[in-house]
Amino acid sequence: MAHSRGRAGKGVSGAGKADGGGLPGLSSGRAEARVKDEGQDEDAGLLVAAAARPGKSGKGDGAATKVPSSLPDVWSRKFVTFSTVAEGHKALQDEQLLGPFFDRWGDTTRALEVTCAGVNTDLCNDVIASRKITVLVYGEAGAGKSTLVKALTHDSDILAVSATGPGTVVETEVCLPCGLRVVDTPGFRVPLPLRSSPSAAISVPVPGAAHAAEGGRFSLAWLREVLAWRAMLRSLHARLTSQDARLRPFALIYCHRAGARILRERVVELLRIPHMKLVPVFTVLTDVTNADDEDLVRIRAEWAGLLHEVGTNAKGAQVHLVEVNSFAKTVRGHTHRQTGVKELMAMLLNSLDPLDALTFARMPGIFTPSRKRKRTEDVVENGSDIEN
């Protein structure tokens, strides 16, 4: 596993923001390489001119004070990269991988409790206790969700074929030793927007400008689809605001088959829900090697426009776009390599931000008091130690 430091580029395909604590086993990285290029000796540590502050003599004797070279690591942002998918799988098997993340999450929680009287940090503390991080995988039936989860987690129990017929409501979750819990959700159907022209009901298989002309005709089947879509959005919203650490996601992956049509306004509507709640969102275009170069140019332009419409959230982040081929496949003698999986693994880890504990806390006054506060009040008022 290699790590690099420095700010990740924000934007459509940029890596996510790293946690302030970084990941264990940090060694060399891009920033260190850059320092070396500039002719500095990274082993020399950080030299602070003593002229700026008094020496032992208290007179500012001009000698340099050597600060341990590990010190800047405490302050820097670190980003993980994997050179192979196997390296990524190995990291995800490591129970210590997210240790620094949970430590920093705890620091943020403590700081919040000290500085904001009455803040409800129950959910933040539940996360520390469970040491689990939920990642949701959403998308249409057949979009490649299960295949992607299998590729990410290396879990052979995941059903790698579409098991999502109408009415299937089963979720599968894979819990990795590092604490990452990947939830493969049942697929849904994205209903066509209602259009008045009957001819517009014909769907266009390849994304492009034609999508704007797409529309559904009113029918009972269409209405059922719209109701199911609305219910799915409501349940997503409920998860994003849930006070249950098991349900509350840290990131959301939206799978879309690269060559499939894009119902832009629906997808924008869906992506905005987690994105505006400051949850990192990854749009993953699956089976990308199946699209030819010309199609890919059009598909990328379409998604760039769509994600631009989704916009930037209050953290200054945009929805990420990742192109993936979840497994190597040989078609008519030509082998399509597995692509994008190790990049997605790294981006997911890099998106974990201990400062997100702030978004898991609830401010006092507006909501119900925290369990801890309620308990204290009960003891004070009733002289009893029984929590109700």
Which segment (17-25, 142-150, 203-211, 329-337) binds Mg ion by CB under 5 A?
A: 142-150
**Residue 173 binds which of Mg ion, ligand GDP, none (CB < 5-8 A, kind-dependent):** none
CB of 254 to Mg ion, least distance (A): 14
**Residue 324 binds which of ligand GDP, Mg ion, none (CB < 5-8 A, kind-dependent):** ligand GDP
Task: Kindly tell me which residue out of 4, 121, 146, 318 binds Mg ion, with binding defined by CB under 5 A.
Answer: 146
**Phi, psi values for residue 252, rounded to 5°:** -130, 130
CB of 338 to Mg ion, least distance (A): 18
Which residues in the 131-190 window bind ligand GDP by CB under 6 A? 139, 141-147, 161-162, 164, 187
**Residue 144 binds which of Mg ion, ligand GDP, none (CB < 5-8 A, kind-dependent):** ligand GDP
Which residues in the 59-88 window bind ligand GDP by CB under 6 A? none
Q: Which tokens belong to 341?
A: 């999986």
Angle value at C-alpha 27, between 22 and 30, nearest 5 degrees = 85
**Phi, psi values for residue 253, rounded to 5°:** -105, 125
The angle that helices 264-276 and 293-310 make with each other, rounded to 10 degrees, is 50
User: Which residue of this chain has its Cβ atom nearest to ligand GDP in the complex?
Assistant: 144
**Residue 216 binds which of ligand GDP, Mg ion, none (CB < 5-8 A, kind-dependent):** none
When asked if residue 121 is in the footprint of Mg ion (CB under 5 A), the reply is no
Cβ-contact 255, 271 below 8 angstroms: no
Task: Kindly tell me which residue out of 324, 352, 357, 361 binds ligand GDP, with binding defined by CB under 6 A.
Answer: 324
**Phi, psi values for residue 336, rounded to 5°:** -90, 120
Which segment (1-9, 84-92, 192-200, 318-326) binds ligand GDP by CB under 6 A?
A: 318-326
Cβ-contact 139, 187 below 8 angstroms: yes
Spatial distance between the Cα atoms of 330 and 313, rounded to a whole number of angstroms: 40
Residues shown for the chain: 388
**Residue 313 binds which of Mg ion, ligand GDP, none (CB < 5-8 A, kind-dependent):** none
- 12 vs 160 by CB, closer to Mg ion: 160
Q: Which tokens belong to 363?
A: 């401010």
The count of C-alpha atoms lying within 13 angstroms of the C-alpha of 61, restricted to the half-sphere facing its C-beta, is 7
Q: Which helix (H) or strand (E) holds 347?
A: helix 341-351
For Mg ion, the binding residues (CB under 5 A) are: 145-146
